[in-house]
Amino acid sequence: MERTLFNGENLLIFDTIFESGDSPLSHSKNIELYGCTFRGNYPLWYSKDIKIQDCLAMETVQDGIWYADNVELTDTLYEAPRSLRRCDGVLLKNMNFTNAAETLWSCRNIRLQRVNAKGDYFAMHSQNIEVNHFTIAGNYAFEGVKNAEIRNAKILSKNALWNTENVTVYDSYLTGACLGWNSENLTFINCVIESAHGMCKIQNLVMEDCKLLNTTLAFEYSTVDVDIASDIESVKNPSGGIIRADKINTLILEKHRIDPSAIQIICREQ
């Protein structure tokens, strides 16, 4: 039925199937769910202090957890899109999101540990994020995020990390076109990156001990302090700073677009 446990408090719920009724646990508080299945819509809106473990959210669930505070999901399979929005305090651990489209939007204070996700526009406009052991296959991941640390990730995503602010990525693999555009204070440490026309229009791009594979037209209109432990296929019109690399196969500096004297190029191999 609709609103089955609406406004519930201090509940332990085991081995329960929430069928097609909408909002079964909305406006709830201090709820723990173990081994449960969700099939209906809006199950946990405006809820607080929620723990979900070993559960299943079917693909029929619409807009699962919105406007919630202190939500923990562990060892759970989530098959529906738009699963978390405008939440404050989110822990996702040992999770699989098979359709993560438009998930984790406009959320704050987030921790992701061993999460796999597939879908476009993951984590748009969220902030205060800690990520460790994460895989995403989907375009436009982490657009507009602020204050994030991402570690041990595999990000397969066209136009990932656009319009970000204060983001650092460690020990990760990233592939996709136009990585990181229009960002501020974006740092990559010990990463492997493949990107056509990547890392452009960035204010304060830092790269330490990174490898660029098949990366072309990099750093256009970016201010940079980068140390690349590989060749770079091509660099185009950086705005300023320093680029260190083993070798740059093609360097494009157009005097009518940038000031070449503002950029220092150091190649370890001649």
Number of helices followed by number of strands (H, E) in the chain: 0, 22
CA gyration radius, the chain:
21
CB-neighbour burial class of residue 4 (10 A; exposed 0-12, middle 13-18, buried 19+) = middle
Assigned domain for 1 exists: no
Q: Which residues of the chain have pLDDT under 50?
A: none
Q: What does pTM read for this prediction? A: 0.94
Domain coverage including residue 65: 9-267
Q: How many domains does the chain have?
A: 1
pLDDT tens across 97-106, in order? 999 999 999 9
Handedness of CA 128, 179, 93, 14 (dihedral sign): positive
Assigned domain for 207 exists: yes
DSSP three-state, residue 193: strand
* pLDDT for residue 186: 98
Assigned domain for 251 exists: yes
Assigned domain for 4 exists: no
DSSP, res 260? G
Assigned domain for 3 exists: no
Assigned domain for 171 exists: yes
Dihedral Cα 154, 185, 70, 68, nearest 10 deg: -90
Nearest to 264 by CA among 224, 230, 229, 206: 224
CB-neighbour burial class of residue 143 (10 A; exposed 0-12, middle 13-18, buried 19+) = buried
Pairing between β-strand 17-18 and β-strand 173-175 as defined by DSSP bridges: unpaired
Assigned domain for 31 exists: yes
Assigned domain for 2 exists: no
User: Is 215 within 8 Å of 236 (Cβ atoms)?
Assistant: no
* pLDDT for residue 21: 86
Dihedral Cα 82, 86, 89, 92, nearest 10 deg: 10
Give CA–CA dist 105/82, Å, rounded: 8
pLDDT tens across 52-97, in order? 999 999 999 999 999 999 999 999 999 999 999 999 999 999 999 9
User: Is 82 within 8 Å of 104 (Cβ atoms)?
Assistant: no
